[in-house]
Amino acid sequence: MPELPEVEVSRMGITPHVQNQVVTKVNIYNASMRWPVPDDVYQLEGLIVTSIERRAKYLLLHCELGSTILHLGMSGNLRVVDKSEPLKKHDHVEFIFGNGKALRLNDPRRFGCCLWQEPGEVHKLLSKLGPEPLTDDFFAKRVYEQSRNKKVPVKQFIMDNAVVVGVGNIYANESLFKAGIHPKREAGKVSQKRYQALIPIIKDTLAAAIMQGGTTLKDFAQSDGKPGYFAQELLVYGRKGKPCMTCESELQEIRLGQRSTVFCSHCQK
Say if residue 150 carries a ligand binding annotation. Answer: yes
Residue at 125 is within a domain: no
- Was 90 annotated as part of a binding site? yes
The predicted structure's pLDDT at residue 121? 95
pLDDT, position 231 = 62
pLDDT for 62 equals: 98
Residue finishing a domain among 83, 117, 151 = 117
Contact 26, 44 (CB under 8 A): yes
The residue from 2, 133, 153, 183 that is catalytic is 2
78 & 162 share domain: no
CATH number at residue 155: 1.10.8.50
Which residue out of 54, 57, 155, 239 is catalytically annotated?
Answer: 57
Domain-located, residue 162: yes
Which CATH number does the domain housing residue 56 bear? Answer: 3.20.190.10
Q: What is the value of pTM for the model shown?
A: 0.89
| 259 assigned to active site | yes
Does 122 reside within a domain?
no
Distance of alpha carbon 155 from the chain centroid: 17
Whether residue 216 is found in the same domain as residue 104? no
Interior/surface letters 194-231, b for 16+ CB within 10 angstroms, e for the rest? bbeebbebbbebbeebbeebbebeeebbeeebbbbbbe
User: Could you tell me if residue 135 is inside a domain?
Assistant: no
Low-confidence residues in the chain, pLDDT < 70: 1, 214-232
Q: What is the C-alpha separation between 98 and 101, in angstroms, rounded?
A: 7
Residues spanned by the domain of 28: 4-117
Question: Is 198 part of any domain?
Answer: yes
One domain for residues 165 and 249 = yes
pLDDT digits (tens, 9 = 90+) for 4-49: 988 998 999 899 999 999 999 999 999 999 999 999 999 999 999 9
Question: Looking at the domain assignment, is residue 45 inside a domain?
Answer: yes
Please tell me whether residues 220 and 113 are part of one structural domain.
Answer: no
Q: Is 104 among the residues known to form the active site? A: no
Q: Which of 3, 6, 8, 94 is catalytic?
A: 3
